[in-house]
Amino acid sequence: MDRQFHTDNRRRLYDMMKPSSLLLMFSGKEIIKTNDEYYPFFAHRSFVYLTGLSCKEAVLCAVKGQDGAVRELLYILPPDPMAERWTGRRVKPEEATSISGIEDVRSVGSFEKDIHTLLAGGHYSTHTEPVDYLYLDVYRAGTQERLFPSHDFLRMAQREYPYLKVENADALVRRLRLIKAPCEIEAVRKAEEITKAGILAMMKASKPGMYEYQYKAEFDHALGQFSPDGPGFPSIISAGSNNFCIHYYAYTGQAKDGDMVLNDVGAQWDNHTTDVSRSWPCNGKFSEKQRLLYECALATSNYMFSTVKPGMLMTDIDRTIREYNARLLVDAGALDKVENVGRLMWHGGAHHVGYDVHDVVATPERIAPNMVFCIDVGIYHEEWGIGFRLEDNLLVTENGCECLSAGIPRTVQDIEDVMRKA
């Protein structure tokens, strides 16, 4: 993503903010894993969306005046030769400016003092007007959730500056993230290519007796040839009856002759992830019942790609997948009546993807160009011992849609061909 993309994202966010307001967006902090180890740092996605930066302990700060003019600042960790010797170099202020387009970059050490000065009515940057509204990203503020710095800040603000009216910045950023920019769509296309390499590697290596962790190793190895980023989310890779666990992460099972292998995976590129599911018989040849069920899922998915277009109700996507597939399952003799489709279909079929695999977007009423979401058809027939899903990524175009993951084998013939040639 280039600087203009991030500058535009911020401009559109500021346009939605009320006058006399302050926006704070935190990148987040490292989380302790054990003793002196931390989990790999993962910057808050909306912070990355707005700045292009992925550094820890940074804060985007924007003050919108009564006249609508916006002053923006960026707080980052200051240079520290000793810390950088151990844990890597920190982004320099001039680099942060070059990436984000924000001119005023300061040490995060002065953040608290600056903010208190501003909220207490003092001079701040060139801003001297009162602040009435405070925009914070308070997504997932439930008591069960890990608190983000924005939640800590919210508590402090409510205690120290009770006159401030708090607005949820997340609700605004969601509207922006719903529609993808051309550079985002390009990033997803690249991520689809990498995902394809990963899934093909698993398909080609597949054989009875292979363990789930070995499939995962094939996937990770293929992704590792493109970037150090790895998957965009924890890979779901399972075989046989483990396919009946929708979010399965154990990787301990073994694919036995006659088992289906299921995977729900996605590579990432430039902070954009894909979310693709492919399933195949581990021995490379669909059984009669596997083929029967798979053809239902494939026909349902193909139907969706032939009908989705701008203007449709988003709620119709899920409903149509379910109804269409239910009829096919009944016709195939896999289900007694359509009303019982819940026995075989356990989850919804359409969520947006982008910076997050379950992308944090405003729930749209109607489908519009440049939305990207999944078409996910899962069939879980416990009685037959067959569970799998077929999930693709749909880009809404001006007149219809495009399957971004179409290049990853999805027909019975293509899958069997790939596995035979291996």
Residues that bind Mn ion (CB under 5 A): 264, 275, 391
Contacts of 170 (CB under 8 A, 6+ apart): 46, 137, 138, 139, 360
User: With respect to Mn ion, which residue has the nearer C-beta, 206 or 274?
Assistant: 274
CB of 377 to Mn ion, least distance (A): 11
Closest CA to 411 of 280, 262, 304, 261: 280
CB of 232 to Mn ion, least distance (A): 10
CB of 297 to Mn ion, least distance (A): 14
CB of 334 to Mn ion, least distance (A): 23
User: With respect to Mn ion, which residue has the nearer C-beta, 308 or 335?
Assistant: 308
CB of 357 to Mn ion, least distance (A): 7
User: With respect to Mn ion, which residue has the nearer C-beta, 170 or 264?
Assistant: 264
User: With respect to Mn ion, which residue has the nearer C-beta, 72 or 391?
Assistant: 391
User: With respect to Mn ion, which residue has the nearer C-beta, 17 or 265?
Assistant: 265
CB of 274 to Mn ion, least distance (A): 9
User: With respect to Mn ion, which residue has the nearer C-beta, 184 or 264?
Assistant: 264
User: With respect to Mn ion, which residue has the nearer C-beta, 21 or 263?
Assistant: 263
User: With respect to Mn ion, which residue has the nearer C-beta, 195 or 206?
Assistant: 195
- 8 A C-beta contact, residue 412 and residue 279: no
CB of 236 to Mn ion, least distance (A): 7
CB of 389 to Mn ion, least distance (A): 8
